[in-house]
Amino acid sequence: MNCRRQITNRIVLLIMILLGTLSISSCSAGSSPAATIENYLLALAEVDEISAVNLSCADWEEQALAESASFKTVEVTLEDVECQIDSESSDLSFVSCNGKFVFSYDAGEEQELVLNGRVFKVIKEASEWLMCGYP
Amino acid sequence: MRLKFLPLLSFAIIGFALSSCSIKNEVNNLDPAKTIAESITPEETDPTSKHTETNIPEIQATLNETVQENNDETIAPTFTAPPEPTATVDNRYLPEEWQSWPIIPTLSPAMIEIYQLGIDLGNNPDAFSKVGDCQIIPEVFLGLYDDVNYVLPENMKQLQETIDHFSGSFAREGLALKGGFVFPTVFSPLRADSSVCDPGETPLECELRIHQPTFVLISMEFRYEGRTAEIHEKYLRQAVEYALSRGIIPIVATKADNFEGDHSLNRMTAQIAYDYDLPLWNYWLAVQFLPGHGVDWERDSYGFHVTPDAWLVRSQTFLKTLDSLWKEAREAIEGVNSN
């Protein structure tokens, strides 16, 4: 009986640790500049202001709020997004992406925001790659 | 026994993990104003200042006359401080009395200076811009004035000169105007049209750089989650200060709806107009004579959209606003040049 309880507790512990790890990974900056921008764009599409700010450098936090809030009035989907590093140094990187945002406004009118050609500036702050604007 | 507290420990780990997800800064504590217009600083609101006349417009369906002044003098206070010889009496309308502000505004001396600054900076005196949402897209607002087949009503013929002068700006959608836009959108570089805007440029910056207007209508009405009078103030001040820094006269506007329930957005807009001495186009007052005060309650239950009649009033009263402001500016500049 005791042994069964121990096993149950261990399973619970494992699940909790797994969930905790998932929680941390879902809100941390990307492990690479490209992943950071992909996560940032995803946060915008989900109108997740907290994640958008957490993925931004200090100087970009205010703009991240505006960018996220700008999606509040439309239905948004992010399609086929894939980002790659254009250039990179130890603490600065430039990233470009493919894909697009598709907005549905007022239950019908569709608008697209194509990401091709846009370059994102990513910097390393406190060992994390963070979105820091557009060069 | 040893493992009895494991679930508890696990919850603590998760709690710690999630706490790291909390936002870095409180949203409302962030300072938005990065660009400060150096040429104009808002005047401090003097709570003791009081206009000495009321100006209650009488609305006429034909919109022949939009403002009829009623010069009721206020009763002089029983005690007055000794007047200072150099002080100027501030007889402007107070922000809390925004419902009585005239529909058609006039230009303050400060704005005439801004107009001159804009001309000196190379702004186009024949152009105006619009910054806003679906309430001011050309299909429902002003677009008809760029239609060569459009004929003004007989009682508005005097406005033809203004239509001719600003031809091309009426039906122009521009880069800071689209259905679904809200104030944060025009400050988001990601939302700028990358085919014409510079990298990092916001839709607002892009529009004013490319069109180089002398006037810009700023009218952001579409509601969104989190919009408060304070947030509205933050963005409107930021937009106003940016326009002023480019020598462009911002025209701000009241809205017909009262979605927020206490008219706090219109009140805040009037406060900003007062602080910077801006022209305020009192659209709210212009539609009060219409059924439902111009709000189309059949279209939506929250009272955002306006009726077709209110659309027409909107275009007509803004055209009169533009006519009045442009002619005032022109006369002031010509007066200076002829002296």
pLDDT digits (tens, 9 = 90+) for A15-45: 665 554 444 444 455 579 999 999 999 999 9
Which of B140, B157, B153, B204 lies closest to B177 in space, CA to CA? B204
What pLDDT does residue B127 have? 98
Residue type (1 letter), A10: R
Which of B38, B43, B44, B105 lies closest to B241 in space, CA to CA? B38
What pLDDT does residue A13 have? 61
* Contact criterion met (CB < 8 Å) for A134 and B200: yes
Cα(B143)–Cα(B140) distance, integer angstroms: 7
What pLDDT does residue A18 have? 57
What pLDDT does residue A110 have? 82
Mean pLDDT of A49-61: 96
Residue B13: how many other CB atoms lie within 10 Å: 17
**Confidence bin at A10 (pLDDT 50/70/90):** confident
What pLDDT does residue B67 have? 34
Instruction: Please tell me which of the candidates A27, A68, A73 has its beta carbon nearest to residue B222.
Output: A73
Mean pLDDT of A49-66: 95
Which of A55, A60, A48 lies closest to A25 in space, CA to CA? A55
Q: For residue A61, is pLDDT > 50?
A: yes
* Contact criterion met (CB < 8 Å) for B188 and A66: yes
* Helix (H) / strand (E) containing A35: helix A33-45
**Cβ(A101)–Cβ(A77) below 8 Å:** yes
* Contact criterion met (CB < 8 Å) for B134 and A9: no
Q: Which residue in the block uniquely carries the two structure tokens 């998760």? A: B14
Query: B191 and chain A: CB distance < 8 Å anywhere?
Result: yes
In Å, the largest CA–CA distance within chain A is: 64
What pLDDT does residue B40 have? 58
Which of B102, B147, B154 lies closest to B325 in space, CA to CA? B102
Using DSSP's 3-state secondary structure scheme, residue B320 falls into helix
Phi first, then psi: what are they for B31, rounded to 5°? -85, 120
Average confidence (pLDDT) per 10 residues, chain B, 339 residues: 52 46 38 38 45 35 37 38 63 94 97 97 98 93 96 95 98 93 94 93 97 97 86 96 98 94 96 98 97 86 85 97 97 80
Cα(B267)–Cα(B282) distance, integer angstroms: 11
What pLDDT does residue B299 have? 82
- List Cα–Cα distances, A56 to A36, A67, A125, A128, B32, in angstroms: 9, 11, 9, 10, 16
Contacts of B9 in chain A (CB under 8 A): 13
Residue of A nearest to B134 (CA): A106
The structure's pTM equals 0.77
Q: Where are the beta strands (DSSP E) in chain B?
A: 128-132, 215-219, 249-253, 280-281
Which of B320, B313, B243 lies closest to B276 in space, CA to CA? B243
Cα(B154)–Cα(B315) distance, integer angstroms: 16
**Cβ(B173)–Cβ(B134) below 8 Å:** no
Mean pLDDT of A38-61: 96
Q: Which residue in the block uniquely carries the two structure tokens 């950071």? A: A36
Packed helices B264-276 and B229-245: angle between N→C axes, nearest 10 degrees: 30
DSSP B208-267: HHHH--SEEEEE-----TT--HHHHHHHHHHHHHHHHHTT-EEEEE--S--TTSS-HHHH
Residue B102: how many other CB atoms lie within 10 Å: 21
Residue of B nearest to A67 (CA): B188
B 226-255 near A (Cβ less than 8 A): 226
Q: Is the ipTM of this complex over 0.90?
A: no
Convert B265-286 to b/e letters by CB count within 10 Å (16 or more is b): bbbbbbbbbbbbbbbbbbbbbb
What pLDDT does residue B296 have? 87
* Contact criterion met (CB < 8 Å) for A67 and B23: no
Instruction: Please tell me which of the candidates B25, B179, B182 has its beta carbon nearest to residue A72.
Output: B182
Tell me the β-bridge partners of B198.
none
What pLDDT does residue B10 have? 53
What pLDDT does residue B334 have? 86
Query: Which one is predicted more confidently, A108 or B322?
Result: B322
The mean predicted confidence, pLDDT, of chain A is 85
* Contact criterion met (CB < 8 Å) for B184 and A106: no
Q: Provide the token pair at B71.
A: 């010069």
Tell me the β-bridge partners of B281.
B253
Mean pLDDT of A3-16: 67
Contacts of B232 in chain A (CB under 8 A): none
* Helix (H) / strand (E) containing A76: strand A75-88
* Contact criterion met (CB < 8 Å) for A113 and B189: no
Q: A92-105 and A109-114 as β-strands: parallel, antiparallel, unpaired? A: antiparallel
Contacts of B16 in chain A (CB under 8 A): 20
